[in-house]
Amino acid sequence: MATNVTEQQARQVAEAAREREWKLPSFGKELFLGNFRLDLIHPQPELDPAAVEKGERFLAALRDFLVSEVDPLRIEREARIPDEVVDGLKELGALGMKVPAEYGGLGLSQVYYNRALVLADTWHSAISTLLSAHQSIGVSQPLLAFGTEEQKRRWLPLVARDHISAFLLTEPDVGSDPARLAATAVPTDDGYVLNGRKLWATNGAIADVVVVMAQVPKSEGHRGGISAFVLPYDTEGVTVENRNAFMGLRGIENSATLLRDVFVPAENLIGREGDGLKIALTTLNTGRLALPAICVGVAKWATKICREWGNERVQWGQPVGRHDAVAQKIGFIAATAFGLEAMLDVSSRLADAKRSDIRIEAAIAKLYASEMGWKVVDELMQVRGGRGYETAESLKARGEKPVPVEQAMRDMRINRIFEGSTEIMHLLIAREAVDQHLEVAGDILEGDVELARKARAALKAGRFYAKWLPQLAVGEGQRPGSFDDFGELATHLRFVERNSRKLARSTFYAMGRWQAKLEKRQAFLGRIVDIGAELYAIAAACVYARTLGTAEARELADVFARQARARVKTLFYNVFANEDDANHGLARRVLDGAHTWLEEGIADPSGEGPMMASAEPAEAARSYMDVPDAR
């Protein structure tokens, strides 16, 4: 079973994996501190003409391939991507979009990599998932950031050409708490021996090479800790036990994988022993932008379907899109599609420019896009009505356009869960948002710190807050003429500036009120992060509209900002006026069995048994080749 660890130990492991230094400026960090640094995202970095030419050429080839060679209904029907489609993606070079040309890849920019995912996802989500798992979190990104030159020369040409990769971190008893990692990597004279079970490895059922995380025991000559290894998947002892099936993403090759006495040579260690989580988190700084790209694709597609359906379907004497109840939904979908695209574009250009620390921006983009994307497909389902609930295959059989709304809803739902659930993202972003406060006042907030350290921290905090707090009183957002070069969008930027200071004041008040217990107020922290996300989205929409320079873009940005401002006002109201304590108390009583009477009168089809399978190896594990559809 997984290692039993205390809450404090789990926090220490997570904290040690963080990037502690801020070597580059961060728009997101400054925003949470009440400092609206518009100059960090505007004007947007210019796209390199050569990168644009290369990217557009690839997008055209990818579009032609999808339209002419890939049947999305077949993927959904058979719950797998046909071999010829995977082979075609390899021939296009799609596996190497993010691998530099010097290592055999296409070397696309982050902007065009994301645009490729937008395109691929609108054809079928299993394709975008295959590509993003392979190169956003698969072998290439960790090696590009932390690998030796020898490792890059050996592995990158393979994964750029035809070797599918996967990332093996999650275990049956290990999700967002990596301190419980049970897989081990025991050192030998010339390498390590891996043992453990990994769960939910996307591409894991068909992978050729993977990155695997395992605990190295601390011993003489070995610093130990969670470490990352490149592992050829045909190594003896690797067994794909199951090809997992899900509510959505029916064509993905997701595995439960057993590692039993698997030898990996020492040269396959990525970075140093104990750096595994740091490697994973650093990889996700830009890797998380893949998921917002997928959500953008769905939102743009939803806008198209709403336009077509809203005009063609007539009820009560006029097209349904002209009725106010439906028009409100279409307005929300179109504005949100623009807002998500703006956030993705701003974040992606920051990633390409490499002049900012985007850990907060990328995390917000993942959180915000997955939440708003879900609302978009829910509203799209309502707009389409019964036809939205009907499968594309059934619609086609009746002679209608096979619009896969129900598939889009099933596929979208996972985005609020994987690569960091909404709840985990709230805590991760909140931790980064209060980093400055913890640096200057952390010892004051903690209850078990000696008095001398508290006294020194008090002096340091006094100096910081004496300068910082007065800056939160007034700002450019209160001056009517500020940001006027943005025209009619200037009012929204003034709103962002004013409310970033209000957000910082609210956070400071909460720290004083709850001190070390603030980390337990997860609903409060979630609202604080959501406010910051909305403010970033508004700023990104205004900046993106300014970059595009069209009246249409300004209209979309204006309506999106109006909608986001309304959400911000509601969030601020609920920051301190809420039912959090009542809800938490009721939850505890439910867990303690006080309301089991409420469960009477039902029949549970799941029956008896444990909620989680044992992390120990199965008695009779199947071989890799015995798994259905594995290839």
Residues 360-370 have pLDDT tens digits of: 999 999 999 99
Phi and psi based region of residue 365 (left: phi greater than 0; alpha: psi -120 to 50; beta: remaining): alpha
Q: What gap in Å lies between CA 516 and CA 507, rounded to an integer?
A: 13
Q: What gap in Å lies between CA 145 and CA 98, rounded to an integer?
A: 12
CB 557 within 8 A of CB 342: yes
Q: What gap in Å lies between CA 569 and CA 561, rounded to an integer?
A: 12
Q: What gap in Å lies between CA 36 and CA 39, rounded to an integer?
A: 9
Phi and psi based region of residue 104 (left: phi greater than 0; alpha: psi -120 to 50; beta: remaining): left
Active site residue 30: no
Enumerate the H helices of 136-242 as residue ranges: 140-146, 149-161
Integer CA distances (angstroms), 376 to 132, 331, 338, 379, 554, in order: 22, 11, 12, 5, 21
Closest CA to 375 of 302, 307, 305, 288: 302
Residue 443 in this model has a pLDDT that exceeds 70 = yes
Q: What gap in Å lies between CA 387 and CA 409, rounded to an integer?
A: 13
Find the range with the poorest average confidence among 98-102, 160-164, 380-384, 617-621: 617-621
Query: What is the percent of the chain where pLDDT is above 70?
Result: 96
Exactly one of 419, 432, 497, 534 is catalytic; which is it?
419
User: Which pLDDT score is estimated for 615?
Assistant: 59
Structure tokens at 15: 């904290």
User: Which pLDDT score is estimated for 174?
Assistant: 86
Residue 373 in this model has a pLDDT that exceeds 80 = yes
Residue 81 in this model has a pLDDT that exceeds 60 = yes
Q: What gap in Å lies between CA 224 and CA 233, rounded to an integer?
A: 24
Q: How many CB atoms lie within 10 A of CB 47?
A: 16
Write out the E strands in 281-414.
Answer: 314-315, 318-319
User: Which pLDDT score is estimated for 3?
Assistant: 59
- Type of residue numbered 398: R
Q: Is 579 in a helix, a strand, or coil?
A: coil
Helix 359-384 vs helix 276-287: angle between axes, to the nearest 10 degrees?
Answer: 50
Residue 415 in this model has a pLDDT that exceeds 80 = yes
| Second-level CATH architecture of 49-283 | Beta Barrel (2.40)
Q: What gap in Å lies between CA 60 and CA 162, rounded to an integer?
A: 21
CA dihedral (194, 195, 199, 204) positive or negative? positive
| Bridge partners of residue 171, in order along the sequence | 174
Residue 620 in this model has a pLDDT that exceeds 60 = no
Residue 89 in this model has a pLDDT that exceeds 90 = yes
Closest CA to 513 of 575, 462, 454: 575
User: Which pLDDT score is estimated for 447?
Assistant: 63
Structure tokens at 115: 């645009």
Please report the DSSP string for 448-477 in residue order: TS-HHHHHHHHHHHHHHHHHHHHHTT--GG
Residue corresponding to tokens 């209904």 = 73
Integer CA distances (angstroms), 161 to 158, 259, 401, 603, in order: 5, 26, 36, 52
| Bridge partners of residue 174, in order along the sequence | 171
User: Which pLDDT score is estimated for 202?
Assistant: 97
Residue 489 in this model has a pLDDT that exceeds 60 = yes
The domain ranges of the chain are 49-283
CA dihedral (562, 568, 573, 578) positive or negative? positive
Count of residues in the chain: 631
Q: What gap in Å lies between CA 330 and CA 311, rounded to an integer?
A: 11
* pLDDT tens-place string over residues 245-293: 999 999 999 999 999 999 999 999 999 999 999 998 888 888 899 999 9
Q: Is 364 in a helix, a strand, or coil?
A: helix
What residues contact 467, with CB distance under 8 A and at least 6 apart? none
Find the range with the poorest average confidence among 6-20, 139-153, 408-422: 6-20
User: Which pLDDT score is estimated for 284?
Assistant: 83
* pLDDT tens-place string over residues 431-442: 999 999 888 887
User: Which pLDDT score is estimated for 270?
Assistant: 98
* pLDDT tens-place string over residues 517-559: 999 999 999 999 999 999 999 999 999 999 999 999 999 999 9
Structure tokens at 173: 């008893």
CB 493 within 8 A of CB 38: yes
Phi, psi for residue 355 in degrees, rounded to 5: -115, 5
User: Which pLDDT score is estimated for 441?
Assistant: 82
Find the range with the poorest average confidence among 94-103, 144-153, 361-370, 432-441: 432-441
Q: What gap in Å lies between CA 573 and CA 506, rounded to an integer?
A: 11
As a whole number of angstroms, the longest Cα–Cα distance in the chain is 81
Structure tokens at 506: 């609210």
- Type of residue numbered 382: Q
What residues contact 207, with CB distance under 8 A and at least 6 apart? 164, 165, 166, 201, 233, 253, 255
Q: Is 449 in a helix, a strand, or coil?
A: coil
- Which uninterrupted H or E stretch holds 596? none
Structure tokens at 411: 């596929």
